[in-house]
A and B are shown apart, each in its own frame.
Chain A
Amino acid sequence: MTVFLGLPTASPGVGNLHAATPFPTAAAEALRDDQLRRNLSHATRTIRGRRLQTVAELDDWEQLRAAGAAIKDDVLDHLDRYLLQLEQAVTARGGTVHWARDAAEANAIVVDLVRQAGATEVVKVKSMVTAEIGLNEALARGGIGAVETDLAELIVQLGRDHPSHILVPAIHRNRREIRDIFRREMVGVDPALGDEPAELVEAARAHLRQRFLTARVAVSGANFAIAETGTLAVVESEGNGRMCLTLPRTLITVMGIEKVLPSWRDLEVFLQLLPRSSTAERMNPYTSMWTGAVEGQEFHLVLLDNGRTATLADPAGRAALRCIRCSACLNVCPVYERTGGHAYGSVYPGPIGAVLTPQLTGVADHPHLPFASTLCGACFDACPVAIDIPRMLVHLRAQAVAAGARQRRLPTSEAAAMSVLGWLMSSPGRWSAALRALWLGRVLGRRTGWIRRLPPPMSAWTRSRDAPRPPRRPFRARGRRR
């Protein structure tokens, strides 16, 4: 039974969180792409190994994880307070704070601000949240060009593709594919461009330099925001973020409301956890921080909900909001390694995507995602803020099943099978009788002891593996005592 407390219901998230194809179908399609599988397997394997090494260097890693989780939980418990504090601090330093309930509102705010600045092009720092709300598409509809300045993000943008990974958006592309994209899409690029990394980077640098120097507006996300001081922080590896953050006259930062941290001191924990988990580096090359607006510059902060307060409302699922977008869980996930990010149908792929996306949009919108895991637990071990993803997946599975049952008048065959099985298993007598009846299946698999083909739904099993032939008698029918 639920008690209505008179609180308004938070609206679900919209934007690039919705899948056109359910995960099982999209995953099966992705599996047919051998090149994709080779690219993914190579990349995730490499970064997996390196991350283990860099993490092992710290003997207080487990304490750091616990500290990270505790700080984030405190933020989630007192989100209202910290956000108001952040707003006050940013405003006091000459910045302007905007609140956006969802993707549409956030996009409208940003498009408006860019227009007011009189710009037709913005440079962008790689940002998950602007990908989530589909900002580039919204800007384009408003006649404004958005230039991604992160190398991998640029590859994806030029390739008219979608990111496939949180940290390495172009993880699904190899060098030759990138060279082809550059040759095809970059204005003025050397037509004889090779596929050596140095050559590719140089081409991107030349392409971006001009954009940095002429841009009047930049858009960034934020890895952290300090409530105490109003400071925003972005960590990155290439320096392009820093160029965007300093050169343009107007800076617009869009951040999810869960990114706030109480105090400056808390950064210490996350600046250790994040780079080691994401890029397997002891420290990221560039950490940029800014507080309010400097003279002659405008600073706008857009605080985005887009399903986050709805997620917060579920005590068993809210820990997904601890996520610092490091992508460690993607790199260790055997399912992600085979399917890549696109199969998840959201800008948040992999294990964290499987728990975050259905919560942001409402589980009914993504009933398949919580099942996109074997519950092997590798993601939980890798998570720097100790999000128990497997437990959360199980919790969301129950919600997905319940949501499905509400939508249908008749139970699914799975629900019926589970009911029958539950009924049999809840009584020792019935269960023993059921197991004894299994010998009927012995007509199959006589020759090898394995069954080659079973009817649906078990045909999904026998499509790629044999099933064991039932024994003559179950174990407990063999007359053990008591």
Chain B
Amino acid sequence: MALFVTCLVDGLVPRVGAATVAVLERLGLDVAVPRRQTCCGQLHVNSGYPDQALALVRNHVAAFADAEAIVVASGSCVAAIRHQHVELARAAGDEGLAAAAAAVAARTYELSEFLVDVCGVLDVGAWFPHRVTLHQACHALRLLRTGDRARRLLDRVEGIELVDLPDADSCCGFGGTFALKNASVSAAMLADKLRAVDATGATVVTAGDASCLTHLGGGLSRAAAGARTVHLAEILAATRDRPWAPPGAPPHPRRRP
């Protein structure tokens, strides 16, 4: 099987990619990371540049043409692959590409879908002794209908204390370029979401999408709040032998010898 890393994970949070590989390999799967992959093109389509996205669709379809199954740790990218790729190809009058895109889309799974529906596992042998709350990312929730799969996976994580997030299904306000074009509305939505996170007393807020988490994490950092964001894949990858450790700053300021 093949991993689609997504541009955001590749460039900004590679640890999420590493965690996804770790979970899949622990289940005995052979994970390939096709070199040719770049981005699903969602950013271009949703910002109003469908023509430029077409080249990315072509590249994506070529990169994953041979893959048996494609796993993505991001609901919104899967939604783009499932709901936008074929249409973009068709709008360009390229029926061959549309057919190939449809075939790739049919073999593409969001991480929780893949684990629950394809692998048929809920217990991936994870250990994560923290108080965690789950934010339902919009695209997984409404475009993929992943339902409670993430929740069921988290339920089987050893040591975890799972707490409900009030209004878990309301948008965090990221929305790609929405966060820049309508910055104040986005910030207001983020503030409400962080208030809900704070009310749970959780030290970790998780989701299946690195984009929502980048938004929430940036907000938590700015607010100097107690909680931090950890991707679902990172929680599932953590074990007693290789426990999750907070990334980022070294624990002690480095001194020159």
Contact = CB atoms under 8 A, between A and B. Distances in A.
Contacts of B178: 371, 373-375
Interface stretch (B4-12, B124-132, B153-161, B232-240): B4-12
Contact of B18 (A373, A378, A447, A475): A475
Contacts of B11: 435, 438, 470-471, 474
Given A418-B44, A465-B222, A31 B185 contact: yes
Interface stretch (A59-67, A85-93, A332-340): A332-340
A466 B222 contact: yes
B139 A371 contact: no
A381 B184 contact: no
B116 to A, nearest CB: 21
Contacts of A27: 182, 184-185
B190 A464 contact: yes
A351 B13 CA distance: 32
B183 interface: yes
Interface in A17-54: 23-24, 27-28, 31, 37
B185, B187, B249 interface centre (most CB from chain A within 10 Å):
B185
Contacts of A296: none
* Interface-centre pick from B48, B59, B173, B183 (highest chain A CB count, 10 A): B48
Contact of A465 (B38, B41, B141, B187): B187
Interface in A381-431: 381, 391, 394, 397-402, 414-415, 418-419, 421-422, 425-428, 431
A267 interface: no
Interface centre among B177, B186, B188, B217 (most CB of A within 10 A): B188
Nearest to A472: B14
A376 interface: yes
A463 interface: yes
B218 to A, nearest CB: 3
B203 to A, nearest CB: 17
Nearest to B137: A376
Contacts of A460: 179-181, 183
Interface in A70-104: none
A475 B37 contact: no
Given A338-B188, A397-B48, A422 B55 contact: yes
Contact of A463 (B52, B139, B187): B187
Contacts of A376: 138, 142, 170-171, 175
A165 to B, nearest CB: 17
A354 to B, nearest CB: 11
Kindly state the interface size class of chain A when it binds its partner.
35 or more
A449 interface: yes
Given A426-B55, A482-B33, A31 B218 contact: no
A481 interface: yes
A460 B56 CA distance: 27
Interface string B197-224: 0000000000000000011011101100
Q: Is the interface of A mostly helix, strand, loop or mixed?
A: helix
A471 B174 contact: no
A310 to B, nearest CB: 20
Interface in A448-472: 448-450, 452, 457-458, 460-461, 463-471
B189 A475 contact: no
A400 B48 CA distance: 7
Nearest to B2: A482
B175 A422 contact: no
A418 B249 CA distance: 32
Interface string A344-379: 000000000000000000000000101111111110
Nearest to A482: B32
A16 to B, nearest CB: 23
A397 to B, nearest CB: 4
A465 B215 contact: yes
A464 B222 contact: yes
A480 interface: yes
B188 A401 contact: no
Interface in B106-156: 138-139, 141-143
Contacts of B17: 475-476
Contact of B173 (A334, A370, A397): A334
Contact of A474 (B10, B49, B185): B10
A317 to B, nearest CB: 14
B221 A466 contact: yes
Contacts of A449: 221, 247-249
Contacts of A425: 7, 38-39, 41, 55-56, 59
Contacts of B55: 422, 425-426
B219 A422 contact: no
Given A31-B185, A338-B189, A428 B36 contact: yes
Interface in A249-282: none
A397 B215 CA distance: 23
A461 to B, nearest CB: 6
A299 interface: no
Contacts of A480: 21, 32-33
Contacts of A380: 142
6 interchain residue pairs of minimum CB distance: A449-B248, A374-B175, A465-B218, A401-B48, A397-B48, A422-B52
Interface of A: 23-24, 27-28, 31, 37, 334-335, 338-339, 368, 370-378, 380-381, 391, 394, 397-402, 414-415, 418-419, 421-422, 425-428, 431, 435, 438, 446-450, 452, 457-458, 460-461, 463-471, 473-476, 478, 480-482
17 contacts: A27-B185, A28-B184, A31-B185, A335-B185, A339-B185, A374-B189, A375-B178, A377-B142, A377-B143, A378-B142, A398-B50, A428-B35, A449-B247, A458-B180, A461-B180, A478-B14, A481-B32
Interface of B: 5, 7, 9-15, 17-18, 21, 32-39, 41, 43-50, 52-53, 55-56, 58-59, 63, 83-84, 138-139, 141-143, 170-171, 173-190, 214-215, 217-219, 221-222, 247-249
